[in-house]
Amino acid sequence: MEMENGKERIIQEFVPGRQVTLAHVIANPVPDLYEKLGIYDVSGALGIFTLTPSESSIIAGDAASKAGNVQIGFVDRFNGSLLVYGDVSAVKAAMKGVMMLLCDKMGFTPTEITES
């Protein structure tokens, strides 16, 4: 962080390359979280990815939809974020499907799928 004219300025950098930087499953999140995300057909889990390059979030969204019975809650091709939701087993299957495609077939650097 830098201070510029009394204002805090944050510089965000991505490491070049293909990388899954975050893969996390939130099982049974509190209903308020769904509401804040604009998701009203509440299900059992959320799956969150952060990816570089950011455009790979489009590929991940397609792979997740095909690997598990999940809905896409959010995809940001500019920042590399993907949010999927559905029942817990479907979200886990979708997360594994994305990791298999990106890491095993496309050579992305993997991360561990974490859960809370």
The count of structural domains within the chain is: 1
Mean pLDDT of 6-16: 67
Nearest to 113 by CA among 38, 94, 42: 94
Domain holding 107: CATH number? 3.30.70.1710
Residue 99 falls inside a structural domain: yes
Mean pLDDT of 79-107: 95
pTM > 0.85: no
Residue 43 confidence (pLDDT) above 80: no
Residue 3 confidence (pLDDT) above 90: no
Residue 1 falls inside a structural domain: no
Q: What is the pLDDT of residues 55-74, one digit of tens each?
A: 999 999 999 999 989 999 99
Residue 11 confidence (pLDDT) above 80: no
The model's confidence at residue 4, banded by pLDDT at 50, 70 and 90, is low
| Residue 87 burial (C-beta neighbours within 10 Å; 0-12, 13-18, 19+) | middle
Mean pLDDT of 3-17: 66
